Amino acid sequence: MEWSIQEIARRAGTTSRTLRHYDDIGLLEPSRVGRNGYRYYGPDALVRLQRILLLRELGLGLSAIAEVLEGQRDTTAALRAHLRLLEQERERIGRQIASVRTTLHKTEKGEELMAEEVLDGFDHSRYEREVTESWGREAYERGDRWWRSLDESQRRDHREEHEAIARDYALALKDGRPADSDEVQAITARMYEWQAATGAIGALSREHFIGLGEMYVADERFGANYDKYGEGTAAFVRDAMTVYGERHLTD
For residue 46, give the CATH number of its domain: 1.10.1660.10
Residue 224 pLDDT level (bands cut at 50, 70, 90): confident
The reported pTM is 0.47
The answer to whether residues 216 and 237 touch, using CB atoms and an 8 Å cutoff, is yes
Give the mean model confidence (pLDDT) for residues 147-163.
Answer: 81
> What pLDDT, on a 0 to 100 scale, did the predictor assign at position 27?
92
Give the mean model confidence (pLDDT) for residues 133-161.
Answer: 68
Give yes or no: residues 77 and 10 share one domain: no
What's the N-to-C CA distance of the chain in angstroms? Answer: 36
Give yes or no: residues 229 and 162 share one domain: yes
Give yes or no: residues 233 and 167 share one domain: yes
Residue where a domain stops, chosen among 71, 96, 127: 71
What percent of the chain has a predicted confidence (pLDDT) above 90?
31
> What pLDDT, on a 0 to 100 scale, did the predictor assign at position 79?
73
**142 assigned to some structural domain:** no
Residue 127 pLDDT level (bands cut at 50, 70, 90): very low
**33 assigned to some structural domain:** yes
Task: Count the domains in the chain.
Answer: 3
Give yes or no: residues 174 and 243 share one domain: yes
Residue 179, pLDDT > 90, answer yes
**What average pLDDT does the structure give for the chain?**
80
Residue 16, pLDDT > 50, answer yes
Spatial distance between the Cα atoms of 106 and 169, rounded to a whole number of angstroms = 40
Torsion angle in degrees (nearest 10) through CA of 72, 74, 76, 79? 0
Domain span including residue 27:
1-71
Give yes or no: residues 240 and 164 share one domain: yes
Which DSSP string do the residues of 140-192 spell out, in sequence order?
HHHHHHHHHHS-HHHHHHHHHHHHHHHHHHHHHHHTT--TTSHHHHHHHHHHH
> What pLDDT, on a 0 to 100 scale, did the predictor assign at position 63?
79
Spatial distance between the Cα atoms of 235 and 82, rounded to a whole number of angstroms = 28
> What pLDDT, on a 0 to 100 scale, did the predictor assign at position 215?
78
What percent of the chain has a predicted confidence (pLDDT) above 70?
79
**222 assigned to some structural domain:** yes
Residue where a domain stops, chosen among 71, 93, 121: 71
**52 assigned to some structural domain:** yes
Spatial distance between the Cα atoms of 61 and 215, rounded to a whole number of angstroms = 9
Give the mean model confidence (pLDDT) for residues 6-14.
Answer: 89
Give the mean model confidence (pLDDT) for residues 214-227.
Answer: 80
Residue where a domain stops, chosen among 26, 49, 71: 71
Write phi, then psi, for 3 (nearest 5 degrees). Answer: -130, 150
**145 assigned to some structural domain:** no
Spatial distance between the Cα atoms of 20 and 137, rounded to a whole number of angstroms = 32
Give the mean model confidence (pLDDT) for residues 117-133.
Answer: 53
Where does residue 61 rank: exposed (0-12), middle (13-18), buried (19+ CB within 10 A)? buried
The answer to whether residues 150 and 209 touch, using CB atoms and an 8 Å cutoff, is no
Give yes or no: residues 154 and 251 share one domain: yes
Give the mean model confidence (pLDDT) for residues 192-218.
Answer: 76
**230 assigned to some structural domain:** yes
**108 assigned to some structural domain:** yes
**144 assigned to some structural domain:** no
29: left (phi over 0), alpha (psi -120 to 50) or beta: beta
Of 64, 61, 66, 68, the residue nearest 213 (C-alpha): 61
